[in-house]
């Protein structure tokens, strides 16, 4: 079983599904001979040819529109947008068309489309290349929003996203693309969508996160274990629809919760999770739910990213506040 980075796992999932299903095509800017800006589609053109690996002009609105048009006519389109900040031109097509076809046609047409994009910061890129847009798309009815946190989850969740009959926004954490490797076997077995994963079981506090911040959250759990604190780690993975039942069950067991997100704090998805905990899990909590998030500013350039993106120490400070209020 090969050890793969996340970007290699994404590539493997697309190649695997294109071999399994002749109706799957990929499209986007520079995805053919160049293999995409991060090389996610490297080698696909040689194997599947230009009819199924389609280089497009530098026009994100066109990429989204092509993917929607193909998908409503029986082709399963997997579109790449080079960076999450370039998704804004796609919003009109996605919101006004992709999300509405099933309802508009009373189920006669569906839109089995995936739009992939690198998401969040950590690679010292400009601000339009470093945004975290999961909440923007999770707010839109009719969309699934997925953000994997490891190579194995990227492989299994991307397979599931391509097979899903409705549109999926698949946000790949740029910082994790080549950060670490995991054994990934090309079994063709998809992971479930709309499900939170219990990444690590614990009894004293629940740490909730997704995407890139899962890496730091796992490190925090390791630090807490050294101090005799047992942290349960929940990987949301599919932000919309949100599997709140798994989070509520975890918090009912631990009584404490810290939610970790890289996106801006105001109106972020951490707020949605916290609101659900207040509404449905208040009586199980020993202390207020804490949020650790990015700041309500544009992602800063270069080395200042390390100030913006929550790190282990910043997460630990919020955890300590919880235990100051409700000691173990």
Write the CATH number for 294: 3.40.50.920
CA–CA separation, 27 and 93 (whole Å): 16
102, 89 contact by CB (below 8 A): no
Residue 51 φ then ψ, to 5°: -75, -20
Contacts of 251 (CB under 8 A, 6+ apart): 206, 257, 277, 281, 284, 285
pLDDT digits (tens, 9 = 90+) for 227-285: 999 999 999 999 999 999 999 999 999 999 999 999 999 999 999 999 999 999 999 99
Number of domains in the chain: 2
314 in a domain, yes or no?
A: yes
CA–CA separation, 150 and 5 (whole Å): 8
H or E element, residue 234: strand 231-235
My answer on whether 32 and 172 are in the same domain is: yes
H or E element, residue 20: helix 6-20
262 in a domain, yes or no?
A: yes
Q: Please check the confidence at residue 117 and state whether its pLDDT lies above 90.
A: yes
My answer on whether 149 and 207 are in the same domain is: no
My answer on whether 10 and 144 are in the same domain is: yes
My answer on whether 58 and 206 are in the same domain is: no
pLDDT digits (tens, 9 = 90+) for 180-230: 999 999 999 999 999 999 999 999 999 999 999 999 999 999 999 999 999
My answer on whether 103 and 168 are in the same domain is: yes
Instruction: Give the structural domain span for 12.
Output: 3-183
CA dihedral 117→118→121→123, nearest 10 degrees, is -150
188 in a domain, yes or no?
A: no
Distances (CA, A) of 302 to 45, 247, 308: 33, 35, 11
Q: So which residues are the catalytic ones?
A: 129
pLDDT digits (tens, 9 = 90+) for 51-108: 999 999 999 999 999 999 999 999 999 999 999 889 999 999 999 999 999 999 999 9
Please identify, among 183, 214, 238, the residue that sits at the C-terminal boundary of a domain.
Answer: 183
pTM above 0.85, yes or no: yes
Structure-block tokens of residue 164: 């899903």
């Amino acid at each position: 079983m090969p050890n793969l980075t996340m970007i290699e796992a994404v590539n493997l999932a697309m190649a695997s599904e294109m071999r399994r299903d002749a109706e799957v095509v990929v499209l986007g800017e520079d995805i053919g001979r160049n293999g995409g800006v991060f090389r996610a589609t490297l080698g696909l053109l040689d194997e599947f040819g230009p009819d199924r690996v389609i280089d497009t002009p530098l026009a994100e609105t066109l990429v989204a529109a092509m993917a929607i048009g193909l998908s409503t006519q029986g082709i399963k389109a997997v579109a790449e947008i080079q960076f999450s900040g370039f998704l804004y031109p796609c919003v009109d097509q996605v919101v006004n068309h992709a999300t509405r076809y099933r309802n508009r046609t009373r189920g006669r047409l569906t839109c089995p489309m995936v739009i992939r994009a690198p998401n969040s910061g950590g690679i010292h890129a400009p601000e339009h290349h470093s945004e975290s847009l999961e909440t923007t798309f999770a707010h839109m009815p009719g969309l699934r929003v997925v953000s994997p946190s490891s190579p194995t989850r990227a492989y299994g969740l991307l397979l599931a996203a391509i097979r899903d009959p409705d549109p999926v926004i698949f946000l790949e954490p740029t910082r994790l693309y080549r950060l670490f490797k995991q054994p990934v076997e090309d079994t063709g077995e998809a992971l479930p969508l709309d499900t939170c994963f219990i990444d690590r079981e614990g009894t004293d506090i629940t740490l909730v996160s997704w995407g890139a911040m899962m890496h730091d959250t796992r490190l925090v759990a390791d630090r807490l274990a050294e101090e005799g604190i047992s942290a349960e780690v929940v990987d949301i993975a599919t932000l919309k629809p949100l599997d709140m039942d798994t989070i509520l069950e975890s918090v009912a067991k631990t009584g404490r919760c810290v939610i970790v997100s890289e996106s801006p704090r105001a109106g972020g998805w951490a707020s949605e999770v916290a609101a659900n905990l207040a509404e449905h899990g208040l009586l199980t909590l020993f202390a207020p739910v804490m949020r650790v998030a990015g700041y309500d500013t544009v992602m800063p350039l270069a080395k200042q990213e390390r100030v913006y993106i929550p790190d282990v120490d910043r997460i630990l400070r919020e955890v300590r506040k919880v235990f100051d209020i409700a000691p173990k």
